[in-house]
Amino acid sequence: MDEMQTERHEAAAWFRSLRDRITEAFEALEDQGPGKTAPGRFEVTPTERANDGGGGIMSVMRGGRVFEKVGVNWSEVHGTLAPKAQAAMAARGVPGMAEDPRFWASGISLVAHMQNPQTPAVHMNTRMFWTPGAWWFGGGADLNPCIEYAGDTAHFHATLKAACDAHDPAYYARFKDWADEYFFIPHRGRARGVGGIFFDDLNTGDWQADFAFTRAVGEAFLPAFLPLARARMVQGWTEEDKEAQLIHRGLYAEYNLVYDRGTKFGLETGHNADAVLMSLPPMAKWV
């Protein structure tokens, strides 16, 4: 598996560096958070795949001043796809997948559930996937408030739009629409949040250009989210607000367990189940 070895190494190293910077920024935000309890810190656990090769780093913070639960995971895995995953890839039109099920993948995945109901939950991921017949990038970010503020939504989208516009003026509208479709919960008839951007199978034929855009999406995350978290984490909230947050989290859990492509892929390829399911909220309610 030596095709594109340099590119794959470069991508995996960058995803890991982004993971390091985000965890550092989140711990710094914890230091600024309200309350007298000790600020939260990430528990870092190496992960391994049950099948084939590779693994990653699972970083989870629980019970902090600002973050009730946040996971920032990095992985680099390779091997042979299970028949179910191979069939799904072939159905998506991945070149050569029907004949050769080998793969390599690396990326960062982040989900944050917040203490203060005024502060929106958030998701971000970027990744690269390689098979003997193709390579592509994917990722995106979306905001999931239970108490919506129009200004927060506008800032989040504007930051992502600027990242997109720097690479292709058509990207933002295309990937925003894709996010609206992808993060929709059919059995509830509603979106899980206020959207963002989502893209997958990105291969324009120019690896450097596609990698540069994927990096831009990752780099945009902290400027898109941190100002919102800093402003909202100090606001007051009521027990009714907390109840609304817990019920809203049910939407997130339902989506990730039933529809999320990354969750399905991680479980089907034998990755550490705790790492795959770290996106689930620590507490949720259903009515």
Q: Which of 123, 155, 157, 248 is catalytic?
A: 123
Provide the token pair at 64. Answer: 């902090």
Q: Are 217 and 200 in contact (CB under 8 A)?
A: no
Instruction: Give the whole-angstrom CA distance, residue 167 versus residue 58.
Output: 31
Map residue 67 onto helix, strand or coil: strand
Residue 216 exposure: Cα atoms within 13 Å on the Cβ side: 19
Cα distance between residue 255 and residue 236, in whole Å: 29
Among this protein's residues, is 123 annotated catalytic? yes
Chain center to CA of 131: 22
Is 103 within 8 Å of 131 (Cβ atoms)?
yes
| Alpha helix positions (H), the chain | 5-32, 83-91, 150-165, 171-182, 207-232, 239-258, 261-268, 273-276
Q: Which residues are catalytic?
A: 123
